[in-house]
Amino acid sequence: MFGLAMVSKLAADIPCQQPAPSVSAPSRPDERFIAMDSEGRSSSSADTDRETLLRGNGFPDYTAADGNRHKHRCHHPPKLPRKPISTKDWPPKQRKLWPMSGYKHGTESIEALEHSMVLQQHLHRLQEQFNEEKEEVRRLADENDRIKRAADKLQISMNKKDVIFADQPPDDYILGRVFGLLGQIKGWSTHFLRAGSVGPAALKEADLEHYRAVFPGARNLDALQQQFQDKKRRRLFVRGWTAYAMCDAVFSTPRDDRLNDDSAVERMFALESMMRSMDVPPGKVNDWRALSFQLLPEPECGSETGRSAPQWLQEECKRVFSVIAPWVKSGKALPEVEDQLLCIFQQALSISALLRRQRACWTLGFPGIQQARTADLLLFDSAYMKVEDREASKTLETVEVVVTPAVYKQGNAEGEFFNVITCLDKAAVVLSPTPISQI
């Protein structure tokens, strides 16, 4: 009993040793409160500390009433140590990429920004191109509207007045131009009135058919040379041969005619021949030709020497002059006489351009030899022939020389009556002194 009492007294004299507070914050607030309760604190004190913790600081606010515990605890919560990031438990690939992850994300951000800037620049260029195209479309639309308005005005003007064709002069004006051309040929033929004997004409067998267009009764070159012994017949041949060559080269069918030495004109002639072969109405063909030739420049007459004439016209002039050059009167320079002929050819070229701009179809041609019982003779026909020698007998029936071509007209300036062909000027002919009954 005594021993038990002494032990109790010694235990009372020994001061109570309080355990040191832990520096680490409890993982859960409830554990701290449970520890506090084990120290003998009242439940009301524990509830007060719980409320203090819930207010935000996480630790109770100790006061002097707490006794010795004030010595071991501070008013402010202790700083918790920062636990370093440990990667020893990470996968090897993740541990390898961990130091570069920040750099990698930064590089990707820069690349994305640069790509965005490139896209913005490209979008800006596309916007500029779109604006340019939009402006071009607007300009073309305005031009299209302007052309439509001009076409409407032209259509209204055409409906009121026919102005799409060139000037359509009266028949007398055109005939006057043709008569003037034939008069120039007649005056130029005086250079061949050479007295006495002359050399033979430079005839070619290949051109016999063309010679017979002037002298229909000549069956061969010898018979033709025999006719040229007479001075009058020589001059008639000069007039007829020159006029025939002009009709064949300048006023003839499209395949032989050229106006400005351009291949485009030849294509126009080929198209005209094609249209006529396809039985296109003559009125439509002539309207097309008149409009087409209106777009071409009118041929120039050239200087007095004729050196500005196109090459093909100069060659045709030489071909004509070479046949009759031996008959030029003495004292006349051959180049001078040939230049005068070239000027006449240029006048014919200008008249041909005028005729092709007309809506009516004008043609110049020599009468053809009729294939009848008198196969090699040209019979006189008063419908398109007139007698050159006024003193000749009206009873003669055969033609010896054709001096000038006949002038025909088909249709009118209004593009009508193309079914009628009218001879406005008859071909001048010289009749044969031998009656047909004696041939």
Buried b (16+ CB within 10 A) or exposed e, 58-79: ebbebeeeeeeeeeeeeeeeee
Taking 90 as the threshold, does the pLDDT of residue 437 lie above it? no
Residue 382 lies in a domain: no
Residue 91 lies in a domain: no
Taking 70 as the threshold, does the pLDDT of residue 232 lie above it? yes
pLDDT of residue 297: 66
Do 299 and 182 share a domain, yes or no? yes
Instruction: Kindly report which listed range (229-243, 352-366, 373-387) carries the lowest average pLDDT score.
Output: 373-387
Q: Classify the C-alpha dihedral 429-432-433-435 as positive or negative.
A: negative
Among 324, 359, 394, identify where a domain stops: 359
> Between vectors from CA 96 to CA 90 and to CA 102, what angle results, nearest 5°?
100
Of residues 436, 426, 372, the one with CA closest to residue 402:
426
Burial zone of 217 (CB within 10 Å; 0-12 exposed, 13-18 middle, 19+ buried): buried
Q: How confident is the model at residue 283 (pLDDT cuts 50, 70, 90)?
A: confident
424 contacts 175 by C-beta, under 8 angstroms: yes
Residue 98 lies in a domain: no
If one counts the domains in the chain, the total is 2
Residue 28 lies in a domain: yes
Instruction: Kindly report which listed range (57-66, 140-149, 196-205, 284-293) carries the lowest average pLDDT score.
Output: 57-66
Do 178 and 34 share a domain, yes or no? no
Residue 331 lies in a domain: yes
**Beta strands 361-365; 406-410: pairing state:** antiparallel
Residue 411 lies in a domain: no
Among 344, 359, 374, identify where a domain stops: 359
Helix (H, G, I), strand (E, B) or coil at 398: strand
Q: Which domain holds residue 235?
A: 171-359
Instruction: Kindly report which listed range (22-26, 297-301, 358-362, 394-398) carries the lowest average pLDDT score.
Output: 22-26
Among 10, 39, 72, identify where a domain stops: 72
Residue 165 lies in a domain: no
Of residues 390, 422, 385, 419, the one with CA closest to residue 404:
385
Residue 3 lies in a domain: no
Taking 80 as the threshold, does the pLDDT of residue 330 lie above it? no
Chain centroid, CA 356 distance in Å: 28
Taking 70 as the threshold, does the pLDDT of residue 260 lie above it? no
Instruction: Kindly report which listed range (71-75, 101-105, 246-250) carries the lowest average pLDDT score.
Output: 71-75
Do 181 and 320 share a domain, yes or no? yes
The torsion region of residue 328 among left (phi > 0), alpha (psi -120 to 50) and beta comes to: beta
Q: Classify the C-alpha dihedral 195-199-201-202 as positive or negative.
A: negative
- Rounded mean pLDDT of the chain? 73
Of residues 405, 406, 246, 257, the one with CA closest to residue 341:
246
